[in-house]
Amino acid sequence: MTPMYLLAITAFQLFAFKFAFTSATSKPNLVILMVDDFGYANIGYHRRDPEYFNDESLDHPEVLTPNLDNLADNYVKLERFYSYKMCGPSRCSLQTGRLPTHVSTDNTEPESYNPRNKESGYAGIPRHMTGVAEKLKGLGYRTHAIGKWDVGMATKDHTPAGKGYETFLGYYHHANDFWTQAVTIPSIGHVNICKNKFIDLSNINGPERRLQGSSYEEELFLQEALGIIYSHNVSQPLFLFHSFHLVHTPLQVPKAWITPFLKVNNNNRRLYASMVYYLDFATASIVSALKAKGLWDNTFLLFISDNGGPIYNPGSANNYPLRGGKYNDFEGGVRVNAFLAGGAVPESMRGTTLNEYIHISDIYTTFISLGGGDSNYIIDTKSQKYNLPPVDGLNLGDLFTGKSSKSPRTEIHLSENAIISNNYKLIIGLQPNAIWQGSIYPNNTGTQPSLPDSTPTEESAMSYDCGDAGCLFDIIEDPTEHNDLAASKPDIVATLKQRLIDLNKSTFRPNRGEPSTLACKAALKLYKGYYGPFIEVDDD
């Protein structure tokens, strides 16, 4: 069902590199495939439970992810992987090993600037907070980033080059147009400070003019990934961060990929399903390239989403049977699709499911450990000089290598409004997008707001107010969060509420300023129509 011209491309590439390679490095290759806005029920292996799904009765597919399902089935499903409730903070957490509350808790516009704070007065990661790629580079890794960045662009320190990546092809904003790479209103949902005038596509040196507008963006990213893999020197370990634009809005995909879903009667759901199908193909192509190059047998590949699926229009994801979606602290917003694959995964672990808690901040620490860094190396000494929050991520190396079946993590400070401790989750305050979806969602009836409900009101049909008293759920026994236990377990509520108050005292919330026209002036005059760094800061 894959379009034949793309199959032909992949077949040619694999044939061209079919000759044998053997990885000469003892360190494992480390690959992260991060998906944007991927719904829990939009991957095939989460639709198998007959208690919730009956897809066999449908005369059309809702989800086609055979390659993703095969990888997850044959390696390790990570069923309690938690991120933040929105994309930018999740990505900051991944890159730095900090909890979002210690690096960024808002989807700040990348044009933001506070001239009174030269360290943290910008969107994203503070200038002198070390990234995972910089640490891995120091351990001998070749480091590459592709796709969505969304952790800052104001200074060169915020770019992939400033965070340790040798190469980059991608964009800085929350989204752009898949065909033109312009930062359009359908891409980001509003008129930005630069009136949506400019292009967002860069390489490690600046604007990427040669490729801009030449193809579907995910095809550009896929070809970049394949080129990096095929040209990689196998005597050195590889770190590849491939950050898909898929399946974030705007809902755009080449027409050929829509064909299997023509009977899906909701247009946005049809487009979303088609984009997921493309994601499945792209993932398979990357895995095939790693195998053809001889890298797969010594690779840990982590597949994750940055947050739960957006259930508003036009986001059109589905997190059923989990409650809620992007922008809230219910399971549908923060418990994400994730699995670990690759030949470095021990045979004894393959075909298993881990229900241990993993937080996105743990990947920084774990990957550095897998790459040979000890506990002292993991410490971010550079950031200490600027009084920045230390690394939070726990080392799950023993969990990933099968030396332990238990995660050291028993608590997750999800946000300033939510905490997980052992079996329990406490949520306080007003939560947007807090509904339960059905197995077929969105459909053409019922409530689905037209804009992200990230600033809820009590009257909103999608919101739920846990108030100051809080909602309490046993997320192991009640993963769909139907049964609020707050009234029956006041002691646990009191304990978790106090713990949340204590943790929130260390929340990192610098004044990041407001979107600045300096970004627009740089795009116009310095980059001739493209976004890029717009503040010069002296090294210190």
Helix, strand, coil abundance in the chain, percent, nearest 5: 30, 15, 55
pLDDT band for 14, please (50, 70, 90 cuts): very low
- Quick one: which of 519, 46, 60 has its CA closest to 258? 60
Per-residue model confidence (pLDDT) at position 455: 61
How far, in Å, CA of 279 to CA of 502, rounded? 41
Q: Rg of the chain's alpha carbons, rounded to an integer?
A: 22
Least confident of 16-25, 413-422, 495-504: 16-25
Q: What is the tens place of the pLDDT at every residue in 417-430?
A: 999 999 999 999 99
Least confident of 52-56, 112-116, 316-320, 525-529: 52-56
Through-space distance between the first and last CA atoms of the chain, rounded to whole angstroms: 55
Q: What is the tens place of the pLDDT at every residue in 125-167?
A: 999 999 999 999 999 999 999 999 999 999 999 999 999 999 9
How far, in Å, CA of 282 to CA of 5, rounded? 14
Sign, CA dihedral 162-164-167-172, equals negative
Inform me whether the pLDDT recorded for 177 exceeds 90.
yes
How far, in Å, CA of 376 to CA of 390, rounded? 12
User: Which residue ranges form the domains of the chain, and what is each CATH number?
Assistant: 24-299+315-410+518-526 (3.40.720.10)
**217-231 and 4-16 are packed helices; what angle lies between their axes, rounded to 10 degrees?**
10
Inform me whether the pLDDT recorded for 454 exceeds 80.
no
Regarding beta strands 299-305 and 338-341, do their DSSP bridges make them parallel or antiparallel, or are they unpaired?
Answer: antiparallel
Bridge partner residues of 33 (DSSP): 242, 303
pTM of model > 0.85: yes
**Cα 97 to the chain's mean position, in Å?**
14
Per-residue model confidence (pLDDT) at position 273: 98
**4-16 and 267-293 are packed helices; what angle lies between their axes, rounded to 10 degrees?**
10
How far, in Å, CA of 176 to CA of 171, rounded? 8
